[in-house]
Chain A
Amino acid sequence: MTHEYELEEVIKTSLLQTTTKSEARLSENVDELLGGRSKTSAKNPVKPMQAIGEIMQSPRMLKRVAPSISILVTILAVGLCWGLRSTVTWAQVVEAVNQKSWMRMTGETPEGVVITWSSQKHQIFAIQSPQRVSISRFQDDVTESYSPDTKQIFKSAAEKKSSERVGFDSFNALFGMLERGDEVLDLEEFREENSIESIEQSRKEIEIDSIKFFDYRITLQPQEEAASTMTIRINSETRLPNQVTVNNSGQPEVIFQVDFPETGPLDIYSMGVPENTQIVDQTPQGVSPEFKEIVDQMQAAVVGFDDYRGIIVLSDPDHPWHVGTPQIVWRKGNFRRMDFGFIDTNNSQPTVDPAADLDRQQWWQNRCKLLYFRPIQVSESGLVYSNNYTPKDDDFAARNSHPIKLDAKKWSKTQWKKFGKIENWQGRTSPLHSTYPHISGFFTNSTSYDTKVVRDPSDEEKGTLLVTVDFSSSPVGEQQTDRPLTMNQVKYVLDSRKNYAVLRSSTIVYAEQDGESEVQSQNEVVNRDFKQSPKGFWYPTLIINKHEFSMNGQQHTGENVSRVYLDFEIEMPDKLFQQSKSNSLGIPK
């Protein structure tokens, strides 16, 4: 079944269009009306805001406006992928590019100098040209575009199908494939997504000032575009792209120089747009500025939070602190990893009750050395990979009481599968996601979320805020069309003095049928005993999770606690975040 927001998009785009005949009639009549009012119109015409607004709203129009730029990133990605295939090892190229914070391409076009910026680390793609400056911050789901003609910044939700998004995703997908070490790259899907029909390539070795380069000449035929020939010059030593020459049919040759600066544009103002420029906000409306401010603050905390390795001990509420199942989570910039540890019944080590004054974090680090760990999820380059970790004869009961005891021999081999984008990261026990959840999804995916913000609610401490979000969700799956519509209410109590950290959150799902509504399930998360990271961000060291739901007419309840031990000093090599076959990688020494 189509998801609600997909259907909303279908309806939104199902606009009828006026005929040229009626437009001409109106234009003629209006000319008569307005003709005598002013003689300044020719001298000082109002720049139609529609012009850029339309560009922002229509991917098709955007493609027409900047064909060479919009497809350049995509083509370069394809070119890198195909062109280098037989010569250097992919791991070397990927490693070389990934070590760079930014990739910048600078070219002199007939319209002036064009610069594109791309950063996987910051999830940003930006274009700077005399006609247009735009920046897409994909983590925030925001695109800002400035035209010197209108002298306005148009801010909108980042279009899923925009050229910037497609180009940027292409990079991520390609590098993801390469990093995974696939012998055969799944380029069919990639080519279809980017509407590229045919590819030819040749290679030659050249030497400039005693430096060896490989020139890869690639001819591509994008759908509905003229064929493009690109020559990508790769430094044979650094394995980095150095120059890209573009020949579009019937257009002058453009040469882009490629470099990898340490810093790049994080917002539109750092690309020369005046700070006092008027902003036309076209992001989905119906959300209060106050709510947006909270979302921005939480997002800033997620981005700015220190790198860490955390041992998160899941436990039953009546267990002492040293009894539980540890998960180990790593966060390094945009990279994530989560491992799951349990007692191997073939090699179990008895737990000795620790002394009362023991360093609990140190105790758990030592304890982890005796447990069997499985990596569950890793993420780099914006993509999440998941490892199938369920044993063949899964014992549900054994898996849901702590500490978990399982037979390691029965587990399948490590097998990574693409799970999805970073937004779908399931490391829910990790304090970052519990404390600063991705609540911007409440207004970027659909217009049918209602949010309310109450400052200093009467039954909470001063300085707290209560955010309430109401939304409906429909049954999912073709077999479930007769299930009732559900109404959801999510509440967050945030602390404005702690980077807007979530102190408590609850989710209640009401099932509605025949005008009656009843609670179908509810969940409450309480974050307690906050500490500050070295950079000053707050995080809880105790997370209490309570849930209640009805199934087959029976009510089920449950409660668990997670104790959080974060280490901010540990070194984390990048290979930790790749799809390694080893289970023991990263376990505390």
Chain B
Amino acid sequence: MAEIDQSLIDAIASGEKSAFDAVYRSHKDHLLTVTVVTLGIDSIAAEDVLHDVFIRLAECSSTLRLKVSLRSFLISCCLNRGRDLLRREKIRQRAVQSRSETIEHVSPDEAVEQAEANARIIDLLCKLPAEQREVVTLHLHGGLTFAEVAESCQIPLDTAKSRYRYALSKLQKWWSNSTIPTGDQHDT
């Protein structure tokens, strides 16, 4: 997979727009979700983050040599860029925009159903303690292995796993009971 990732980067470097499109379309929704859930910013701000990251990818593709998977690399870029923006521009955190506006290419019934399920699970994720939701979204939305998650969060591997398990246990209870917790969760 790493070879394919690098060959796509090389193709972008040589001006292949179709390669760029392939990379963008393969990763955009995963990156958007990870950025929204991890940083707690709204999807409009997250789209700005993605825009900057992909522009930077196109600019630097000729010198880019991947040492990790492209997905992992792009997630790091998005989170770093998002954190930069949060620090420098002080993005005002807003409630997550209505996801139904962003869902396209599906029939109305499917869109409503999908939007409701998405909204519910994203809301639940956002109620988790920050360190737990970061691990869950990196692993499940970002597709990173636990080792990659640990490296990304700069925590030991066992900590990543235990955070994930505690988070999932909590989500399971909330999801089954249809109870969305209120207030900040402080337990780890």
* In-complex Cβ contact of B55 among A8, A33, A35 (8 A): A33
State A48–B20 Cα separation when bound (angstroms).
Answer: 9
In the bound complex, residues from chain A placing their C-beta under 8 Å from that of B143 are 285
In the bound complex, residues from chain A placing their C-beta under 8 Å from that of B78 are none
State A472–B141 Cα separation when bound (angstroms).
Answer: 20
Given A48-B19, A224-B107, answer yes or no on A16-B118 (Cβ-Cβ < 8 Å): yes
Q: Is the CB of A11 within 8 A of B16?
A: no
Q: Is the CB of B118 within 8 A of A481?
A: no
Q: Is A210's beta carbon under 8 Å from chain B?
A: no
Q: Is A551's beta carbon under 8 Å from chain B?
A: no
Closest Cβ–Cβ distance, residue A139 to chain B (whole Å): 25
Q: Which parts of A1-24 form the interface with B (CB within 8 Å)?
A: 1-2, 4, 7-8, 10-20, 22-23
Given A11-B141, A22-B47, answer yes or no on A29-B55 (Cβ-Cβ < 8 Å): yes
Q: Is the CB of B136 within 8 A of A11?
A: yes
* In-complex Cβ contact of A15 among B54, B58, B118, B139 (8 A): B118
Q: Is the CB of B121 within 8 A of A48?
A: no
Q: Is B99's beta carbon under 8 Å from chain A?
A: yes
* In-complex Cβ contact of A37 among B14, B22, B101 (8 A): B14
State A30–B51 Cα separation when bound (angstroms).
Answer: 10
Q: Is the CB of A49 within 8 A of B4?
A: yes
State A577–B169 Cα separation when bound (angstroms).
Answer: 41
State A448–B135 Cα separation when bound (angstroms).
Answer: 12
* In-complex Cβ contact of B54 among A7, A30, A285 (8 A): A30
Given A7-B168, A20-B104, answer yes or no on A33-B59 (Cβ-Cβ < 8 Å): yes
Q: Is A286's beta carbon under 8 Å from chain B?
A: yes
Size category of the A interface is 35 or more
In the bound complex, residues from chain B placing their C-beta under 8 Å from that of A7 are 168, 171-172, 175
Q: Is A355's beta carbon under 8 Å from chain B?
A: no
Q: Is the CB of B17 within 8 A of A34?
A: yes
State A46–B169 Cα separation when bound (angstroms).
Answer: 43
Q: Is A450's beta carbon under 8 Å from chain B?
A: yes
* In-complex Cβ contact of A34 among B4, B15, B175 (8 A): B15
Q: Is the CB of A4 within 8 A of B19?
A: no
Q: Is B182's beta carbon under 8 Å from chain A?
A: no
In the bound complex, residues from chain A placing their C-beta under 8 Å from that of B36 are 16
- Interface mask (B27-41 → A, CB under 8 Å = 1, otherwise 0): 011101100100000
Size category of the B interface is 35 or more
In the bound complex, residues from chain B placing their C-beta under 8 Å from that of A8 are 140, 168
State A46–B18 Cα separation when bound (angstroms).
Answer: 6
In the bound complex, residues from chain B placing their C-beta under 8 Å from that of A281 are 1
Q: Is the CB of B16 within 8 A of A38?
A: yes
Q: Is A356's beta carbon under 8 Å from chain B?
A: no
Q: Is A447's beta carbon under 8 Å from chain B?
A: yes
Q: Is the CB of A280 within 8 A of B1?
A: yes
Q: Is B185's beta carbon under 8 Å from chain A?
A: no
Q: Is A50's beta carbon under 8 Å from chain B?
A: yes
Q: Is A86's beta carbon under 8 Å from chain B?
A: no
Closest Cβ–Cβ distance, residue A226 to chain B (whole Å): 15
Q: Is the CB of B140 within 8 A of A25?
A: no
> Which of A36, A40, A280, A472 has the most CB atoms of chain B within a 10 A radius of its CB?
A472
Q: Is the CB of B18 within 8 A of A45?
A: yes
Q: Which parts of B145-168 form the interface with A (CB within 8 Å)?
A: 145-146, 161, 164-166, 168
Q: Is the CB of A30 within 8 A of B58?
A: yes
Closest Cβ–Cβ distance, residue A522 to chain B (whole Å): 20
Given A18-B29, A18-B47, A286-B145, answer yes or no on A34-B20 (Cβ-Cβ < 8 Å): yes
State A10–B168 Cα separation when bound (angstroms).
Answer: 12
- Interface mask (B165-183 → A, CB under 8 Å = 1, otherwise 0): 1101101110111000000
Q: 7 other contacts beyond A12-B141, A23-B24, with CB at 8 A cut-off? A: A15-B32, A17-B32, A17-B104, A18-B28, A30-B58, A448-B165, A474-B172
A-B contact pairs, 5 of them (CB 8 A): A4-B172, A33-B55, A46-B8, A285-B143, A472-B169
Chain B interface residues (CB < 8 Å from chain A)? 1, 4, 8, 11-22, 24-26, 28-30, 32-33, 36, 43, 46-48, 50-51, 54-55, 58-59, 99, 101-104, 106-107, 117-118, 121-122, 125, 136, 139-141, 143, 145-146, 161, 164-166, 168-169, 171-173, 175-177
